[in-house]
Homo-oligomer: A and B are copies of this chain.
Amino acid sequence: MERAAVTARTSPESARDIPEATVARLPVYLRALVTLSEQGTATCSSEELAVAAGVNSAKLRKDLSYLGSYGTRGVGYDVDYLRYQIAREIGVTQDWPVVIVGIGNLGQALANYSGFRSRGFRVVALLDADPARHDAVVAGIDVRPFADLERIAREHSVAIGVIATPAVAAQDVADRMVACGITSILNFAPTVLNVPAEVDVRKVDLSIELQILAYHEQRKTNGAQNGAQDGAREGAQTA
């Protein structure tokens, strides 16, 4: 993992240390470029792209500058060219194999998500620990026993796993994934995963997002008057 000094300049243009905040925005730019391309737009300015991506144009330009100089001053960016460059930088010029574990409501929704294949990913297996689900076919893919994980991960060189199980099972699934060589995990289960440092985990948590909204919503509605909810909010001094 120590590629600190080995950041060789083998590839001509690729920038070496892209800030994390920029990495998180590149997919947004990529999607905006795809949309522009489908609309027949050949070139766009940083201002146009920034509006389409919902960000500040100065931030956009700085983000793109980490990848290299792919624009033309006085003109803008070639949509298809920039789109390819960002896709290459992210690493989605061809598909990554992905396994989904936990084929409940959410897992089925994910399996049916059409954006997978069009955006650089391919679902190679659906796994579930519950034998009652093993007969099902979801999104054209057989649901297999969780025990098949190791074989499938090996056969397809799977590096990315998605966890859509209940919270109690998530840590076990993660452990097995790590043991099978998976080094990137997208976790939909509402729990904190414990994994080795070299494994990347991103979490998507519905209730956390809603609670963040609730916090701000409370501030808004309390601006004029406390309430809308109820009045039983006095400082209940327990203990």
Alpha-carbon separation in the docked complex, A11 to B220 (Å): 12
List of B residues within 8 angstroms of A66 by Cβ: none
List of B residues within 8 angstroms of A109 by Cβ: 104-106, 108-109
In the complex, besides A54-B194, A94-B230, A159-B221, 20 extra interface pairs with C-beta distance below 8 angstroms are A11-B226, A12-B226, A26-B215, A27-B212, A30-B211, A31-B191, A53-B192, A81-B238, A90-B218, A91-B215, A94-B229, A96-B214, A105-B113, A115-B206, A119-B207, A120-B214, A183-B220, A200-B213, A202-B209, A204-B209
Asked if residues A214 and B14 are in contact (CB atoms below 8 Å), the reply is no
Asked if residues A211 and B84 are in contact (CB atoms below 8 Å), the reply is no
Query: Is A73 an interface residue, CB under 8 A from the partner?
Result: no
Asked if residues B192 and A233 are in contact (CB atoms below 8 Å), the reply is no
Query: Is A78 an interface residue, CB under 8 A from the partner?
Result: yes
Q: Using CB atoms, name the residue of chain B closest to A31.
A: B190
Asked if residues A206 and B110 are in contact (CB atoms below 8 Å), the reply is yes
Alpha-carbon separation in the docked complex, A185 to B210 (Å): 9
List of B residues within 8 angstroms of A6 by Cβ: 223-224
| Distance from A207 Cβ to chain B, minimum over Cβ atoms (Å) | 4
Query: Is A179 an interface residue, CB under 8 A from the partner?
Result: no
Interface residues of A in 1-38 (CB under 8 A from B): 1, 3, 6, 8-12, 14, 23-24, 26-28, 30-32
The contact string, 1 if C-beta is below 8 Å from chain B, for chain A 96-114, is 1010000011101110110
List of B residues within 8 angstroms of A215 by Cβ: 23, 26, 89-91
Query: Is A46 an interface residue, CB under 8 A from the partner?
Result: no
List of B residues within 8 angstroms of A178 by Cβ: none
Query: Is A131 an interface residue, CB under 8 A from the partner?
Result: no
